[in-house]
C-alpha cells in the first residue's frame, strides 16, 4: 500500500492473504475468548493464545437418550479430531480437592451440588490437553439449568449434536448391548457386532442390566429435559436420527462438526467455473454475477475485447484470434492479471470461466496473487453436451438464441432464417470435449477442494447448488494436534 498516493488502496493480495491465513477469524476468536475469560493480564493472555499451534480447537457437546450410541460416536470423534473425550466418570477420576469433595457425595449416594459439578468441569477443561486439542463432552450437560450454568462459566461449545431414535429402538438397543471388557467399546447383538472373532467372544453383558420398564423410564426422563437443551443450544445444534447404520450416523456427525458457522469476516468471492462445452458456465456466471454483483470475466470475450481496442497487447494477440490459433499462455495470463487487478475486481470479487483449461494454466494462475476461493466443476455426459450445442441457433435479425428442443423458434419464418454456428457442429464439439477430458483429471487433482455439480438439470437448480457452496464456509481440515 502506498501511503503517499490518494485515494489509499488496499492491494488485492491483502484480501487473499487474510482469507488464506484466516486473519479475521483469528481476531474474532481472540476477542471472544478475551471477553469470556476476562484475564487479569489481557496482553499476556493474547500472547499465550497466539503461541498455541491452533486457536480453533473442537468444542463439542454430544447429547442423546440412553442407548443412542453417544459413547461410541464420541470415541470415534476423538480419534478423528484428536480431541479429549470427557465423561462424568473420568472427570471424577482427577486427584484434586474438588474431586475428593465430589466423591464424598457419591459415596453417600447423594447428588453432587451443581455449583461443585460446574467447577469440576471447568477444572478438567482448563487442563493443557483440552486447551490444546479441544474436547468432546459426552452426555454433559443433562439439563437446561446445567447448560446455562456452563455458559455462565464460559464453557460454550462450537457444535452440539443431539442423537435421537424411537423409544422402541432405544429399548431394543439397551437390552442387546454388549461391552468389550478390554477396550470398553460398546457393541450390539443386532445393530453393531464386531468384525473380530476374538472381540466377539469376550463381549459381556453390562453390569447391573436393568429391565425394559426401567429403561423406558430413563428414556422418558431424558425426553423431559431434551426440549430445554434444544432451546439452549439452538444456534449450534444438529439433531441426527440414529435409527440407521452406525457408519452413516458417524459420517453425518463428523460432517457437521467439521462445518463452520457463519463468519462476520469480510469475504470477496473469487470463483472459477470449469466444465465441458455446453455445461452452462456462461449462464451460471451471469446469474451469480447479477445476484452478488461480481465481475463476470469470460476469458474468450476478454481476449476479443483486448484485440479490438488496438492496444499493443491487442496487436500481439489479434493474429492468433484471426487465424484460430491458441493465444500463448503468457499473453493470456498477462491480460487476465491486469483485468483482475482493477478496482472493481478487488472490491466486488470476480467469477472467471474459460480459464484455466489445463494444468499448466492452473499452475500459472496459482503463482499469481489472484487465487480462487471457490472452484466448481459443472459435470455432464458427452451426449448431453452434444445435444445442447449442436441444436443451438441464432436469429440474425433479432439476435435471439434458440434451441431445437428446449427453445424452438416461435414461427416458421423465424425458424427459416436461423443460423447455426460452425463451431457447434458435432465434429467440432466432439473435438472440444476430447480436449476437455484430456485435462480434467489433472485440474481436479490440482483443486482438491473443488465442488462437483451436476449440470444436467434445470439451470436454476444448478444455480442453487453453486450458491449454497458460495455463501457457506469451507469445512475444517483435520490436522494432527496430538
Which residues fall within 8 angstroms of residue 433, CB to CB, at 6 or more apart? Answer: 276, 277, 382, 385, 386
Which residues fall within 8 angstroms of residue 305, CB to CB, at 6 or more apart? Answer: none
Residue 136, C-alpha cell as written in the block: 468432546
**pLDDT at residue 86, rounded to an integer:** 94
CA distance 256 to 100: 37
**pLDDT at residue 10, rounded to an integer:** 63
**pLDDT at residue 9, rounded to an integer:** 62
Q: Note the pLDDT tens digit of each residue in 166-196.
A: 998 888 888 777 777 787 777 776 667 777 8
Residue numbers of the chain with a pLDDT score lower than 50: 480-482
**pLDDT at residue 208, rounded to an integer:** 61
**pLDDT at residue 481, rounded to an integer:** 44
The SS3 assignment for 164 reads strand
Q: Please give the order of strands across the beta sheet that includes 295-298.
A: 295-298, 350-353, 270-274, 374-379, 451-454
**pLDDT at residue 77, rounded to an integer:** 93
**pLDDT at residue 265, rounded to an integer:** 65
Q: Note the pLDDT tens digit of each residue in 384-443.
A: 999 989 888 888 888 888 888 888 888 888 888 888 888 888 899 999 999 999 999 999
H/E run at residue 345 = helix 343-348
What predicted TM-score, i.e. pTM, was given to this entire model? Answer: 0.63
Q: Which domains, from first to last, does the chain contain?
A: 6-42 (no CATH), 57-258 (3.40.50.300), 270-298+344-471 (3.40.50.300)
CA distance 307 to 316: 8
CA distance 137 to 280: 46
**pLDDT at residue 442, rounded to an integer:** 95
Residue 218, C-alpha cell as written in the block: 430413563
Q: Phi, psi (5° rounding) for residue 184? A: 80, 5
Amino acid at each position: 500500500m502506498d501511503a503517499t498516493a490518494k485515494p489509499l488502496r488496499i492491494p488485492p493480495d491483502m484480501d487473499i492473504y487474510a482469507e488464506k491465513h484466516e486473519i479475521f477469524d483469528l481476531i474474532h476468536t481472540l476477542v471472544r475468548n478475551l471477553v469470556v475469560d476476562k484475564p487479569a493480564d489481557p496482553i499476556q493472555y493474547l500472547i499465550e493464545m497466539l503461541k498455541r499451534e491452533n486457536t480453533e480447537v473442537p468444542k463439542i457437546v454430544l447429547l442423546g437418550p440412553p442407548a443412542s450410541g453417544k459413547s461410541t460416536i464420541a470415541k470415534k470423534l476423538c480419534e478423528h479430531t484428536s480431541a479429549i473425550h470427557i465423561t462424568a466418570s473420568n472427570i471424577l477420576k482427577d486427584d484434586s480437592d474438588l474431586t475428593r469433595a465430589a466423591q464424598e457425595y457419591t459415596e453417600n449416594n447423594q447428588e453432587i451440588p451443581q455449583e461443585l459439578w460446574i467447577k469440576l468441569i471447568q477444572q478438567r477443561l482448563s487442563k493443557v490437553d483440552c486447551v490444546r486439542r479441544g474436547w468432546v463432552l459426552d452426555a454433559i450437560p443433562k439439563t437446561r439449568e446445567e447448560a446455562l450454568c456452563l455458559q455462565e462459566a464460559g464453557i460454550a461449545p462450537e457444535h452440539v449434536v443431539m442423537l435421537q431414535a424411537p423409544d422402541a429402538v432405544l429399548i431394543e438397543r439397551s437390552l442387546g448391548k454388549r461391552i468389550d471388557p478390554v477396550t470398553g467399546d460398546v457393541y450390539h447383538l443386532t445393530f453393531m457386532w464386531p468384525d473380530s472373532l476374538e472381540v466377539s467372544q469376550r463381549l459381556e453383558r453390562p453390569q447391573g442390566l436393568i429391565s425394559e420398564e426401567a429403561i423406558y423410564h430413563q428414556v422418558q426422563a431424558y425426553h423431559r429435559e431434551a426440549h430445554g437443551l434444544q432451546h439452549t443450544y439452538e444456534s449450534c445444534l444438529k439433531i441426527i436420527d440414529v435409527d440407521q447404520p452406525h457408519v452413516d450416523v458417524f459420517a453425518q456427525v463428523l460432517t457437521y462438526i467439521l462445518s463452520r458457522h457463519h463468519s462476520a469476516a469480510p469475504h470477496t468471492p473469487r470463483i472459477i467455473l470449469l466444465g465441458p462445452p455446453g455445461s452452462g458456465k456462461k449462464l451460471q456466471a451471469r446469474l451469480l454475477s447479477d445476484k452478488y454483483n461480481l465481475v463476470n470475466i469470460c476469458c474468450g470475450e476478454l481476449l476479443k475485447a483486448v484485440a479490438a481496442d488496438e492496444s499493443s497487447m491487442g496487436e500481439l494477440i489479434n493474429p492468433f484470434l484471426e487465424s484460430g490459433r491458441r493465444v500463448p499462455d503468457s499473453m493470456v495470463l498477462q491480460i487476465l492479471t491486469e483485468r483482475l487487478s482493477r478496482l472493481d475486481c478487488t472490491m466486488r470479487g470476480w467469477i472467471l470461466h474459460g480459464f484455466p483449461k489445463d494444468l499448466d494454466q492452473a499452475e500459472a494462475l496459482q503463482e499469481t496473487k489472484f487465487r480462487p476461493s471457490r472452484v466448481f466443476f459443472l459435470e455432464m455426459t458427452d451426449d448431453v453436451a452434444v445435444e445442447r450445442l449442436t441444436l443451438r441457433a441464432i436469429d440474425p435479425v433479432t439476435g435471439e438464441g434458440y434451441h431445437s428442443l428446449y427453445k424452438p423458434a416461435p414461427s416458421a419464418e423465424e425458424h427459416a432464417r436461423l443460423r447455426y454456428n460452425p463451431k457447434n457442429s458435432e465434429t467440432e464439439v466432439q473435438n472440444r470435449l476430447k480436449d476437455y477430458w484430456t485435462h480434467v483429471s489433472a485440474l481436479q487433482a490440482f483443486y482438491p477442494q473443488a465442488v462437483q455439480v451436476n449440470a444436467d438439470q434445470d439451470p436454476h437448480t444448478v444455480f442453487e447448488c453453486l450458491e449454497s457452496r458460495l455463501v457457506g464456509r469451507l469445512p475444517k481440515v483435520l490436522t494432527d494436534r496430538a
